[in-house]
Amino acid sequence: MNTFHRSVLFLAAGVWLGACATSSQATPSPSAQASTPTPPPAPALQAEASVPAEPLRKPAPLETVLQSNPQSPIVSFRLVFHAGSVDDPPGKEGLTALTANLLSQGGTRELSSSQLLEVLFPMAAELAVFPDKEFTTFSGRVHQDFLPRFLKIFTDVLLEPRYEPSEFERLRTDALNTVRNTLRNEDDEQLGKVGLDALLFRGHPYAHFVGGTVQGLQAITLDELKVHARRVFTQDRLVIGLAGPVDEALKQTLTSRLSALPATGAPAVTLPTVTAHPGSALVLQKSTLSTAISMGFATSLRRGDPDFFPVALALSYLGEHRQTHGLLFQELREKRGLNYGNYAYAEHFIEQPGTTFNQPNLARTQQDISLWIRPVVPTTAVFATHGALYYLDRLIQQGIPRDAFEQTRGFLMSYTRLWEQMDQRRLGYAIDSLFYGTPDFLDSYRKALEQMTPESVQAAVRRRLHPSALSFVFVTQDAPALVAGLTAQAPAPLSYASAKPPAVLEEDPAILRQPLPLRPEAIEVLPASTFMEQ
């Protein structure tokens, strides 16, 4: 299983990180605003200079979420351990992810790795693992006709792992190839995301890639991996999810088997405060035909905060993941033809494979708000960066027009129902709610949407979105030219290959006048080939 889609870390050249209120009034339309005095702006809070680590809630050991659906023939399992890359010892970055992958793929005492696949295939059963910063999720899915056999296998990967040395080496090589080849050479968008995590969380356990660094992976031994499994995959860190034709008897059987796990292990990692470094930029230089742009800031805003839902609506309006209605998508792609897509996120986003939805069980003590500008032609990268800031600032200063607000609200009322259409995802949300203290999270989201107004959303946006807090990551071929353009007093205007409407051409100069919150002295250029080395 490719470890790339599971998380992010950054260490480069051994030095860089080593040192390192509501109203019933409608918002007037643009034409009405021209003739109606603009109300005084709501007071805005300052950007967060630091983000303290307010601990997530702690469920009881082996706490179980059971969602019975007798009409379904499919049984779904979800074992969520409060253990992730933050538990990696210094110098052994990638240990938790490698341990999880070896447990899930490396076979059991009775079955080799290949035999494990051979047994699962005729059952059409699924057994997967997803490690992240603070959580690692083992998921399973099987038809009820094969439940007894699958249940034993699913628990044996944790209770009776094979620890075959050849499988250890195979999976470590796969993890190393993910860093050296997939991230550094093949996927500029993901490389930018990895860099942004490193930039926002430098000196913090979130900074390093869940999949590991080159030197960290090389330093791990099989014996260390065995010890680590018993330190972090323990009863006191585990929440169990069951869905489908399940009952108390199955719950008791499963919890009884899992009670063979160590009761306790390593103490939970105490996360430090995140210190903001606004205006920083990391430029990763490599041979590539496009430029990938990521920007964001660390934040204490997370699920359970009263501002979370209105900010999530605002950022959906700005750019919902892989949806075409977003303001950034319409302005930068549809009107100007700059790139593939432009999206914004109210919490850390990792796409669940095969969907356009966020992966569940990515709960984090400290979150980040981010914008992605999916790759642009290098000559348009500076304009695209100004454009993202221009429309973000317009959102903050002018709010969302009434018609766009209603459209976004209606979309989210329906879209959130798609997020919970699968048993595995419903289990994921229910388990996340244990840690965030947000029961019935998606129902609460829809109830909050019913109560929102453009004014209440803008008030939350003013409190929580601060362009001055942003940091930036660029992946590009000509780093000096990009840095020169980003720091230029008068950035070059766009030259279009086809005619554009007058309204677009009239707005372009205003976009280029939008200041970038970049500090020239805080722009770091690094070769991508040194990224995530140690």
pLDDT digits (tens, 9 = 90+) for 172-202: 999 999 999 999 998 999 999 999 999 999 9
For residue 219, the tally of other CB atoms under 10 A from its CB is: 17
* pLDDT tier at 10, thresholds 50, 70, 90: very low
Q: What is the per-residue DSSP string for 432-450?
A: HHHHHT-TTHHHHHHHHHH
pLDDT of residue 38: 41
Q: What per-residue confidence (pLDDT) applies to 40? A: 45
pLDDT digit string, tens, across residues 361-380: 999 999 999 999 989 999 99
> In terms of DSSP bridges, do strands 471-476 and 281-285 run parallel, antiparallel, or are they unpaired?
parallel
For range 130-153, the mean pLDDT: 98
Asked whether the predicted pLDDT for residue 204 surpasses 60, the reply is yes
Kindly state the average pLDDT of the residues 487-501. 92
Do 294 and 371 contact (CB within 8 A), yes or no?
A: yes
What lies within 8 Å, CB to CB, of 278 at 6+ separation is 47, 297, 468, 469, 470, 471, 517, 519
> Rounded distance, CA 276 to CA 47, Å?
9
DSSP annotation of 32 reads H
* Structure tokens given for 311: 């900010």
295 — alpha (psi -120 to 50), left (phi > 0) or beta? Answer: beta
pLDDT for 240 beyond 70: yes
Closest CA to 297 of 194, 387, 206, 199: 199
| Spatial contact of 532 and 291, defined as CB atoms under 8 Å apart | no
Strands 367-376 vs 291-299: parallel, antiparallel or unpaired: antiparallel
pLDDT at 450 over 60: yes
Residues 6+ apart with CB under 8 A from 319: 326, 327, 328, 329, 341, 342, 343, 344, 371
**Whether the predicted pLDDT of 41 surpasses 80:** no
What average pLDDT does the structure give for the chain?
A: 92
Contact 216, 93 (CB under 8 A): yes
* The one-letter amino acid at 26: A
Length in residues, the chain: 534
| CB under 8 A, 24+ apart: contacts of 403-407 | 403/29, 404/317, 404/327, 405/27, 405/317, 405/452, 405/453, 405/454, 405/457, 407/325
Q: What is the pLDDT of residues 278-334, one digit of tens each?
A: 999 999 999 999 999 999 999 999 999 999 999 999 999 999 999 999 999 999 999
For 78-88, the pLDDT digits (tens) are 999 999 999 99
List Cβ neighbours of 31 (8 Å cut-off, separation of 6 or more). none
Which amino acid makes up residue 319? G
| Res. 90: pLDDT tops 80 | yes
Question: How many Å separate Cα 95 from the centre of its chain?
Answer: 20
Contact call for residues 48 and 276 (beta carbons, < 8 A): yes
Euclidean distance between CA atoms 179 and 235, whole angstroms: 32
Task: Mark residue 354 as left, alpha or beta (left: phi above 0; alpha: psi -120 to 50; beta: remaining).
Answer: left
> 277-311: buried (b, 16+ CB within 10 Å) or exposed (e) per residue?
bbbbbbbbbbebebbbbbbbbbbbbbbbbebbbbb
Question: Tokens 């996120």 appear where?
Answer: 345
Domains observed in the chain = 4-8+58-258 (3.30.830.10), 276-530 (3.30.830.10)
* Backbone region of residue 60 per phi and psi (left: phi > 0; alpha: psi in -120 to 50; beta: other values): beta
**Residues 460-482: tens digit of each pLDDT:** 999 999 999 999 999 999 999 99
pLDDT for the residue 47: 87
Residue 251 corresponds to which amino acid?
A: K
Residue 93 has pLDDT above 60, yes or no: yes
Q: In this structure, which amino acid lies at residue 238?
A: L
390-437 pLDDT per residue, tens: 999 999 999 999 999 999 999 999 999 999 999 999 999 999 999 999
Residue 282: what residue type? L
> Within 10 A of 368 (CB to CB), how many other CB atoms are there?
23
389 to 221, 262, 422: CA distances (angstroms): 46, 50, 36
Q: Where are the alpha helices (DSSP H) in 201-307?
A: 214-219, 222-232, 248-258
Estimate to the nearest angstrom the gap between the alpha carbon of 273 and the chain centroid: 19
Region of residue 304 (left: phi > 0; alpha: psi -120 to 50; beta: else)? left
Going by the DSSP 8-state scheme, the letter that residue 485 receives in this structure is: H
Angle of CA points 276, 277, 278, to nearest 5°:
100
Q: Rounded to an integer, what distance in angstroms lies between the CA atom of residue 268 and that of residue 258?
A: 20
- What pTM does this model have? 0.90
pLDDT at 534: 82
